[in-house]
Amino acid sequence: MKIKSLIFMFAVLCLFACKKETTSSITGTVSLFDDGTTSVENSGMKVLLEGTSPEIFAQTNSDGNFTIGNVPFGTYTLIFSKDGYGTYKFFNATLTESGGAYNITETIKLGQVSDLAITDFEVHISNGSIDYTGSIDPEGTADAPKYVRIFYSTDENVSSANYTYYSEPYQIVGNAFELPITKEELIDEGFATGATVYLKIYGESYWNNSYDDPITGELIIPNLSPNSPNIVSFVVP
- The reply to whether 163 falls in a domain is yes
Question: Is residue 143 located within the same domain as residue 225?
Answer: yes
Reduced to 3 states (helix: H, G, I; strand: E, B; else coil), residue 21 is coil
Query: Cα–Cα distance between 186 and 129 in angstroms, integer?
Result: 11
Task: Look at residues 89, 79, 202 and name the one whose alpha carbon lies nearest to residue 147.
Answer: 202
> β-pairing, 117-126 with 174-181?
unpaired
Report whether pLDDT(227) > 70: yes
pLDDT of residue 21: 76
How many domains is the chain built from?
A: 2
Q: What is the CATH number of the domain that holds 127?
A: 2.60.40.2060
**Helix or strand holding residue 196 (H, E):** strand 196-204
Query: Cα–Cα distance between 18 and 157 in angstroms, integer?
Result: 60
Task: Look at residues 40, 33, 47 and name the one whose alpha carbon lies nearest to residue 104.
Answer: 47
pLDDT, one tens digit per residue, over 159-197 is 999 999 999 999 999 999 999 999 999 999 999 999 999
Q: What is the CATH number of the domain that holds 68?
A: 2.60.40.4130
- The reply to whether 11 falls in a domain is no
Q: What's the domain range around 68?
A: 21-111
Q: Please compute the mean of the pLDDT values over residues 214-233 and round it to a whole number.
A: 94
Question: Is residue 129 located within the same domain as residue 104?
Answer: no
Q: Which of 66, 89, 111 is the last residue of a domain?
A: 111
pLDDT of residue 3: 56
pLDDT, one tens digit per residue, over 37-50 is 999 999 999 999 99
Q: Which of 95, 111, 127 is the last residue of a domain?
A: 111
Report whether pLDDT(131) > 80: yes
Q: Where are the alpha helices (DSSP H) in the chain?
A: 2-18, 183-188
Higher pLDDT, 7 or 189: 189
Question: Is residue 55 located within the same domain as residue 82?
Answer: yes
pLDDT of residue 5: 53
Question: Is residue 97 located within the same domain as residue 141?
Answer: no
Q: Which of 54, 82, 111 is the last residue of a domain?
A: 111
Question: Is residue 140 located within the same domain as residue 195?
Answer: yes
Report whether pLDDT(13) > 90: no
- The reply to whether 142 falls in a domain is yes
Contact 68, 49 (CB under 8 A): yes
